[in-house]
Amino acid sequence: MALLSKKDANLILDPLADNNPITIQVLGICSALAITAELKASVVMAISVLFVMGVGNVVISLLRNVIPSKIRIIAQLIVVATLVIVVDQMLKAFQYELSKTLSVFVGLIITNCIIMGRFEAFALGNGVWRSFLDGIGNALGYGIILIIVGFFRELLGSGTLFGFQVLGDPIAKTGLYATGYENNGFMIIPPAALIVVGIIIWVQRSRNKALIEEA
């Protein structure tokens, strides 16, 4: 990380672990529950949020001195919504297949609390470069959790990863299924995501006791 000063590097590294938007700040939980039944959807969502967070934080940071504080939330909302619609329209025109996969996420990205949270808490008060790093860092922190949750839910719930049957064929009873193993249907419904996120939070806090809040 010679490219970045230590302070700047922390903007990216902190949200990955000790200040993770999902497990520590508990933001963006809604989409983490909704779309993590499949690994592919998790990855697509992570990349989309990475883009919107990076660009959005830059735009808000550029405008930070001209946005009137009374309507700053509306201004932030419009920036996210515009970005998402622009991307959606471009994809529809030039990458139609991809746009169909992504269309489900458009609404979820606009309402993602992490995005609004970072605009409000960081980009409005910091310079462009630092805001960009903060956006990337938080989106990566969000994405990592999404991918971990998606991995376990798809593997245990459907026996597949990215749609490939990695544990054998559940109907023809090959591979692991020959031993009597069954997919856990509970894993593909949203409450399972809460449990997986809960386990991640538990593991994280037992490794780093400083994260445990005083009761």
Partner 1 sequence: MAINTDKNSYTVLFAVVMVVVVGSLLAFLASGLSERIKENERFEKQQNILYAMGVNENTPDSGVNFVPTDVVEARFNERIKEQYVLVDGNVQKDDQAFLIDVKKQLAAFKAGNEARLPIFVGEKDGEEIYVLPMYGKGLWDAIWGFMSVNKDLVIQGVYFDHKGETAGLGANIKLRFFMDDFLGETLLDGNSYAGVEVSKTNNDPLNEDKEDNQVDAIAGATITGNGVSAMIKETLNAYKPYLETIRNK
Residues paired with residue 161 on neighbouring β-strands, in sequence order: 164
Residue reference for tokens 């508990």: 26
Contact stretch for partner 1 (CB under 8 A) within 13-21, 67-75, 128-136, 203-211: 67-75
DSSP state letters, 74-111? HHHHHHHHHHHHHHHHHHHHH-HHHHHHHHHHHHHHHT
User: Quick one: tokens of 49?
Assistant: 């949020």
What phi, psi does 169 have (nearest 5°)? -100, 115
Please report how close the Cβ of residue 168 comes to partner 1 at its closest, in angstroms. 14
Nearer to partner 1, 117 or 190 (CB): 190
| Contact code string over 153-172 relative to partner 1, x by CB under 8 A | xx--xx----x-------x-
The answer to whether residue 69 forms part of the interface with partner 1 (CB under 8 A) is: yes
CB atoms within 10 A of CB 108: 17
| Contact code string over 98-137 relative to partner 1, x by CB under 8 A | -----xx---------------------------------
Please report how close the Cβ of residue 51 comes to partner 1 at its closest, in angstroms. 17
